[in-house]
Amino acid sequence: MVLSVSVRQGNAEPQSGQLFASLVYMRHVFHFDQLLGEVLLQLPEHFPPATDYLETYKSLALDRIRGQEVIGNPLHVYTVIKRLVHYWPDIKPALEHYMQAASKGCEDTHPECQNWSMINECVINRNYMLVYCPQACHVCPSPALRSEVLKLMSASETTVLPTSDDLTGAALALTRLQRIYRLPINSFMAGRIAGVSSSVSKSSLVY
């Protein structure tokens, strides 16, 4: 099942707003999404954008475990684009701060770190605390996790990631799909298309 009857198979970079229509580029996007999801699942602590990202990522991971098609499922295509557009811009700098803390040996460098952590500064002033108070905030990464984050950051430089225009394009394509094939809206919003079910939640389909 595909999002659009005009899905492109070639390697030409898609036009703005049309990333969803390229199977080649969407495979790269899904691969990046999987790298990011696995990194976020391993983090010793979760910050709001990471928690929000994982809320919809887990439904895709569940369908993947069940052996269901995800790259060709229009609902998963839309939700992967949506979560990358909404949350990656906040997750990326947070992971960069995370790695900066790891490169410094992951030691607290301010005498007030423990006191600050007790008054929730690890959440309120997260980026500063990750750099100067990583032990107090319990965010020191293992060597294995550090390697995975480095792999993810490298992939972010080589993957064509979706933009807000791509999110709009994917939303419009879903609307066309529902209208042209007269799909029951209740089934559609419940993650079912033409008898094929997925774990995509109703809330994740809201633009």
Are the C-beta atoms of residues 6 and 112 closer than 8 Å to each other? no
- Nearest CA-CA partner of 135 in 114, 156, 151: 114
Other beta carbons within 10 Å of 79 = 24
pLDDT in tens, 62-121: 999 998 889 989 999 999 999 999 999 999 988 887 787 667 678 899 999 999 999 999
Three-state SS at 200: coil
* pTM, full prediction: 0.84
At 10, the pLDDT band (50, 70, 90 cuts) reads: low
- Nearest CA-CA partner of 34 in 168, 150, 155, 196: 155
Confidence (pLDDT) at 6: 47
Confidence (pLDDT) at 143: 82
pLDDT in tens, 41-75: 988 766 789 999 999 999 999 999 998 889 989 99
Confidence (pLDDT) at 101: 67
Q: Which residue has the tokens 């008054």?
A: 119
